[in-house]
Chains A and B, each alone.
Chain A
Amino acid sequence: MFAQQVLNGLISGAVYALFALGFNLIFGVQKVLNLAHGAIFMTGAFVSYYAVVAGLPLWLAMLVAMAVCAVLSVLLDRFGFQLLRKYSVADAEFGALVISIGVGQVLTSVAQKASETKVLSFPFGTFPVEFYRGMGLRISLLQVTIAALVAVLVVCLAYFLKKTSFGRQVRAVAINPRASALLGINGGSVFMLTFGVAGALAAMAGVLIALSFNSIQFLMGEPYMLKAFVVVVLGGLGNLGGAVLASLLLGVAQAMSAAYLPPGLSDILIYATLFVVLIFKPNGLFGGAVAPAGVGRQ
């Protein structure tokens, strides 16, 4: 029972990681709190649903969803956040939050219209329902697929950021956009890429969540958005390794509290933890001076 809870927690933590990585990547590079990320995640689930209903195989539907969300995310940056660069830091910070809320609201309402406020679910047999048993544990084919997909993607992302030239450029822009521009790095393409990757990751998380709960509805992004805050703060804003660890931790903690605590208490504990961590270790539990949280504005 206990081991089973840990396993389930790790799998749902893996999906949180997928969602939070994109959110965190955007924060790390652009210093923008993208509150539309949850809506993009939801859009991913919707696009894949309509693609499957239109007769595409699931893997292709997922790719379509990822492409659509990557484009959406890039457009949000290009015609939203980028236009704020000419204002002062305080105005841009506030503006970015408002733009992302506005875009999120538009996407959510469009989805509400499209689904007529109904809960959609994939047609039966979209993903084969199979269970494996061993060592007293039970794991479904879907859970195995999720774990494998997330592991592969996280490794690819880490490789890309640490080992490739473009990854170095992304990290350089994250540390200091002006200095990296002086060194000949094209900031525009770095922003485009990070938003594209973040959108695609959010879409994939959306499809995986839609498959595991077999329900798709227009408000599904909001709880994940709030979870992403928790993950990102626990792991450190802009710290990708920390985000993965924190996601797994959150997944397990949630599975545990669902099993052993009275309902309703887990939310209080999670957000209270977030508040406390933010105050005592604003750069995350896993240390690292990624972005100083306590300095004044210039």
Chain B
Amino acid sequence: MMEFFLANQSVFDFFLLTLGFSYSQQIVLRSGVFSLASAAFAALGSYGCAYLVMRSGMPVALGIVFGALIGAAAGYLTSVPLARLRGVYQAIATLALVEVTVAVALYAEPITGGAVGFNGIPKSIGTWQLLLAIFGVGYVLYAMSHSRIGRGFDALRQDEYVAASLGVSSRSQHTLAFIASGLIGGLFGALQSMYSYSIEPHQFGFGFMVSTLAAIVLGGRRTLMGPVVGSAIVILLPEIARPLAEYRQIVVGAVLVIVVIYAPQGLADTFIAWLSHRKTDASAKTAAHEITGGSNGHA
């Protein structure tokens, strides 16, 4: 078991990073915002942290905190203009934001290193730090989703007007979702820069967006387990489908299309919903049985 784990440790690390990015993507989608800006937040956190650590000699831990804060600030700033837009318009605006970020990273060579990016970053992040970050983020998200905030997100996603009539402020909830998305994106961006020796602009472009979206599509937008399943599939599919390596992209594309048509809530979410339906069905049945069976009164 341990040997297997060690042999696949880098796969596991990449899984954790992808999972972090998909949480950043999930939280905005969950609140009903069609934002694809996670790539931009990750890029900002990543570059911010790398710059602070490499150029101004900041300690790594502090650099990572600053990376996360930069992401959160970017999330807040993005939320202000985006409050005016909905649906596909948000998708286009955030896509433009990602393109601007990549273009700036390419252009501002003295600061960002241009197309080469940052190289020779000392590797100071290992599996356990990544795990710690995932558990920290996971706990906060869990607490959030079982509070008023999470229920507000769910209501907003399903119907903004109904949510507003029930006293959920879309403005403040969306701002909160953006800040959380930026914070998580920035944090994992910073972790990635300290994990992977080098960063360059194109790793935060269209491909990044597709893989986090794929994790959400395969997993789901609602539950905490969704992105875990989704990221696992995204990371493992190429490993499992190695005989199909040449046709990997085709397989991934086709899987996305099929899942979105037949299980638009995501595989994990659909399964969880099915399980909880079954549970409620079962308890309803026992309850009915207890009533008809004339049990001793507390049915």
Q: Is the CB–CB distance between B107 and A102 below 8 Å?
A: no
Which of chain B's residues have a CB closer than 8 A to the CB of A139? none
- B99 CB–A CB distance under 8 Å: yes
- A274 CB–B CB distance under 8 Å: yes
Kindly supply a per-residue 1/0 record for chain B positions 100-114, scoring 1 wherever the CB is within 8 Å of any chain A CB and 0 otherwise: 100110110000000
Q: Is the CB–CB distance between B107 and A233 below 8 Å?
A: no
Question: What's the least CB distance linking A293 to chain B, in Å?
Answer: 4
Which of chain A's residues have a CB closer than 8 A to the CB of B160? 296-298
Which of chain A's residues have a CB closer than 8 A to the CB of B214? 98
- B135 CB–A CB distance under 8 Å: no
Q: Which of A229, A237, A268, A279 contacts B84 (CB 8 A)?
A: A279
- B74 CB–A CB distance under 8 Å: no
Q: Is the CB–CB distance between B87 and A297 below 8 Å?
A: yes
Rounded to whole angstroms, the CA-CA distance of A110 and B251 in the bound complex is 11
Which of chain A's residues have a CB closer than 8 A to the CB of B170? 296
Q: Is the CB–CB distance between A294 and B161 below 8 Å?
A: no
Q: Which of B32, B89, B91, B254 contacts A102 (CB 8 A)?
A: B254
Which of chain B's residues have a CB closer than 8 A to the CB of A89? 87
Rounded to whole angstroms, the CA-CA distance of A83 and B32 in the bound complex is 22
Which of chain A's residues have a CB closer than 8 A to the CB of B213? 97-98, 101
Q: Is the CB–CB distance between A109 and B103 below 8 Å?
A: no
- B178 CB–A CB distance under 8 Å: no
- A271 CB–B CB distance under 8 Å: yes
Rounded to whole angstroms, the CA-CA distance of A106 and B210 in the bound complex is 13
How many chain B residues touch A (Cβ–Cβ < 8 Å)? 50
Q: Is the CB–CB distance between A268 and B96 below 8 Å?
A: no
Rounded to whole angstroms, the CA-CA distance of A114 and B210 in the bound complex is 23
Q: Is the CB–CB distance between A279 and B81 below 8 Å?
A: yes
A264-B86 CB under 8 A given contacts A84-B264, A275-B97, A278-B93? no
Q: Is the CB–CB distance between A278 and B260 below 8 Å?
A: no
- B257 CB–A CB distance under 8 Å: yes
Which of chain B's residues have a CB closer than 8 A to the CB of A226? 95, 99
Kindly supply a per-residue 1/0 record for chain B positions 76-90, scoring 1 wherever the CB is within 8 Å of any chain A CB and 0 otherwise: 000001101111110
Q: Is the CB–CB distance between A297 and B96 below 8 Å?
A: no
Q: Which of B91, B103, B254 contacts A271 (CB 8 A)?
A: B103
Question: What's the least CB distance linking B112 to chain A, in Å?
Answer: 12
- A88 CB–B CB distance under 8 Å: yes
Which of chain B's residues have a CB closer than 8 A to the CB of A265? 107
- Measured CB to CB, the nearest residue on chain A to B256 is A102
| Interface residues in chain B, defined as those with a beta carbon under 8 Å from any beta carbon in chain A | 29, 32, 34, 81-82, 84-89, 91-93, 95-97, 99-100, 103-104, 106-107, 157-161, 164, 170, 206, 210, 213-214, 217, 221, 246-247, 249-250, 252-257, 260-261, 264-265
| Interface residues in chain A, defined as those with a beta carbon under 8 Å from any beta carbon in chain B | 27, 31, 33, 80, 83-84, 87-95, 97-99, 101-106, 108-110, 112-113, 222, 226, 229, 233, 237, 264-265, 267-268, 271-272, 274-275, 278-279, 282, 293-298
What are 14 A-B residue pairs whose CB atoms fall within 8 Å in the complex?
A: A84-B260, A90-B157, A93-B34, A103-B257, A104-B253, A106-B253, A237-B89, A267-B99, A267-B106, A272-B96, A278-B93, A279-B82, A279-B93, A293-B89
